[in-house]
Structure 1
Amino acid sequence: MERPISKPIGQHFLELDTPTLIIDKNLLQANIEAIQADLEKASIDLIPNAAAHGTSAIARMQTGNNTKSPIFVDTFQQAECFFQAGFENIIIQAPPLSFTKKGLLRHLQDSQTLTLSISNISHLDAIRGNHGSPISVLLKITNKSDSVGFKTREELIKPIEYLATFEHLRFEGLITNANEMESMEQACEVLISADEYLDRNSISSDQLLLNASNLIFEKEFNNIPKGITGLISGTYPFHTKTQDTVCSVISTVISTPEPGKAYVDCGQKAISVDRGVPSVINYPDAEIEKMSAEHGYVIFDSNKLHLKIGDKILLSPASYSDTFNLYD
């Protein structure tokens, strides 16, 4: 796929070279503020998963330009990028098992507030030699939608005792992933139960974090139980309860071979289909049938809609994070 032709600042978005990813900044800001307000009512911190978009400008909006406010990332490479962009409080999901990651850990450790999510006691052996500024450690526990982590609350005691033998490592709390909306309640119960067990063993957890990065929230957060301190989310800035769309990919109709069918210049190189084909935003009677690497196949009722070459079609991705990953 060729790189888009740059256009001057101020150009109408429908005149941009296609395919291209666009964001409505005003709707983005409104979404961020609305979700933050909902969680504040429930006394829960909102921690953005900046890996969902990989964009420092969006992360600044999510943190209110407070570089000391925590963000969550999936990898050490992502942590390094956001550190270079000025962020000072980063939670990293992936353990530092490779030589390269250990080198990044030493760099990040001496430069900022760093928290690691650990899902196996052997991960502690990988970081025990990294002496320097303190590292906070979250222990990841399993639930019915995520099998990676410590499987029973009894298993938590040994790594916590092991952590206490290192001056530069500190037990921060617990984290679990909710990979399905139906598993949210059970994931919260797992966190609360594990925390209560640790408390009975004279161990306190400062953080109980629920990682729901890939879930789309369509209701308020009153059902999250008291005790959960933070919610990690990656998709919340881009989804809205209204018909307005925060994030979309612009495409252009390049062929209409027969009534009820059109081809657009946007395919799998410009919008991810790993979690499903995108939906058509600006033509409710049209839908994407399938996609090749560089083209999309649009079907519609020709009695209700007439598409012609040059028409612009806005596509909403099934996965925002996978689509952002396709762009610089």
Structure 2
Amino acid sequence: MDYLPLPGTHVEDIDTPAIVVDLDIAEANIKAMASFAAENGVSLRPHMKSGKSPFWALKQIEAGAIGVCAAKVGEAEILAEGGVREILVTNQIVSSTKIRRLFGVASQANVTVAVDNHDNVDDLSMGAQMFGIELGVILEIECGMNRAGVKPGEAAVALARAVENAPGLRFDGVMGYEGNAVYTQDFDLRKQQAMDSVNILVAAADDIEADGMEVKIISAGGTGTYDITGKVERVTELQCGSYLFMDSKYLEVFGDHPHPFRSALTVQGTVTSKPASGRTIADPGLKAISTDQGLPGVVSVEGAIVRSLSEEHCVMETQGPADELQPGDKISFLPTHSDTTINQHDYYYCVRNGMLETVVELAGRGRFM
């Protein structure tokens, strides 16, 4: 049984480890990205592999987003159940079980799904005919990530034609991800890398249109490249997601480059042990904070450096004010990667002016399928 605090609870009275979101900052981040998109004539379709909840999806749609992206069928299911009516599934859905579930989502929302091979097109077409539901399809183009995606050129044109001719499917366009560029710190190099990828994507769209098919959607973009990709005339929509909470990795990437985003999400912990001067232990371990992009930072007190995380322990080197911390004191950590940290928790504790406003279920947690 979960014992959840009531609205009005002071943030330091929330039990730990807990994900705490400053609503004022998160809403300002949402507004800032929506304003950028509007000013540059590009649509916004935020990726919910970050937010993992209809709560955040609907907030972004209310601010002007045309819909959202989902990484998996499971995420799409909770979004549709929560009232989201425009969903792009950005990965390939290939098993018969998942395809059936995909059409369950498509019965509640307008769904578009990414493909990169002919067999998948045939299976999706069979499902569309079986369920009597038209399914939007977008080609994922390999444009530098060396991950999934059909190669641009003849292969992409042939795959687009297969979608165009497949009963029950609607060819909508192309997508790509310049993920090889989003973490490059030097802006000029990041811009060059991003544009190299986006130019491949746009060229693939040009080839498809030259073959007589309409490309309505060219979808791309990550938080690290939003102000590069979002200014490319042919790109119709941005898939950025992490700007919502803005983890420390992206703050490091942006450095002195101007941007309007601030960190809205922290993991609150409690000091559990003070075994020696200069060493302090807190309760958010690896089960509460991910370290795939590095160790978290301490943001609530000066003089604390995280040295290691084990399953249940955070070991900090402390000096100055931080070395005065005692068992029972609260401490806040800024994750380097919010997406993978979020997936380890059940709830967001959303606060405003230091007081709990609402507890939001992390409905997309663990939706790996």
- TM-score between the two structures when normalised by the length of structure 2: 0.81
2:198 corresponds to which residue?
188
- Which position in structure 2 is the counterpart of 1:136? 136
Distance 1:43 1:125, change over 3 A: same
Deviations 1:207-241 (A, max 9, x none): 100042xx446x84587311101110120111286
Runs of 4+ aligned residues of structure 1 deviating over 6 Å after TM superposition are: none
Give 1:154's aligned residue.
154
For the pair 1:197 / 2:207, whether they are aligned, the reply is yes
Within the alignment, does 1:29 sit opposite 2:27 as a pair?
yes
RMSD over aligned Cα, in angstroms? 2.3
CA distance in 2, matches of 1:199, 1:48: 26
1:230 aligns with 2:248: no
**2:70 aligned partner, one-letter code:** V
Unmatched segments (≥5 aa) in structure 1? none
Question: Bigger CA drift: 200-209 or 102-111?
Answer: 102-111
Q: Distance in 2 between matches of 1:35 and 1:303?
A: 36
Counterparts of 1:21 and 1:147, CA distance in 2: 31
Structure 1 residues 104 and 286, CA gap change in structure 2 (3 angstroms): same
Q: Determine the structure 1 residue equivalent to 2:84.
A: 87
CA distance in 2, matches of 1:285, 1:55: 35
Q: 1:16 to 1:304 in 2, by over 3 A?
A: closer
Is 1:75 the counterpart of 2:85 in the alignment? no
- In structure 1, what residue type is equivalent to 2:14? L
Q: 1:312 aligns with which of 330, 336, 354?
A: 330
- Among all aligned residue pairs of Structure 1 and Structure 2, give the percentage whose two residues are the same amino acid: 22
Provide the rounded CA distance (Å) in 1 between the counterparts of 2:105 and 2:321. 60
TM-score by length of 1: 0.90
* Native 8 Å contact 1:136 1:172 kept in 2: yes
CA gap 1:162/1:98 in 2 versus in 1, 3 angstroms? same
Partner of 1:272: 290
Q: Identify which of structures 1 and 2 has the higher relative contact order when contacts are C-alpha pairs closer than 8 Å and 6+ apart.
A: 2
Paired AA for residue 198 in structure 2: C
Paired residues of 1:259 and 1:302 also in contact (CA < 8 A): no
Return 238-247 or 138-147, whichever deviates more.
238-247
CA separation in 2, counterparts of 1:188 and 1:156? 15
Tell me, yes or no, if the aligned pair for 1:261 and 1:297 is still in contact at 8 Å.
yes
Provide the residue aligned with 2:102 in structure 1: 105
The 10-residue stretch of structure 1 (21-30 or 95-104) with the greater mean CA deviation from structure 2: 95-104
Question: How many angstroms apart in 1 are the aligned matches of 2:9 and 2:67?
Answer: 35
Displacement of 1:273 after TM fit? 1.5
Contact 1:146 1:177 in 2 (8 A): no
Give the partner amino acid of 2:173.
Answer: G
Tell me which of 54, 57, 70 is aligned to 1:56: 54
Question: Secondary structure in 1 aligned to 2:332?
Answer: strand
- Check conservation: 2:195, 2:229, Cα contact below 8 A: no
Q: 1:225 to 1:69 in 2, by over 3 A?
A: closer
8 Å CA contact 1:4–1:19 kept in 2: the answer is no
Quick one: distance in 2 between partners of 1:4 and 1:286? Answer: 31
Instruction: Give the aligned length.
Output: 322
Q: 1:92 corresponds to which letter in structure 2?
A: V
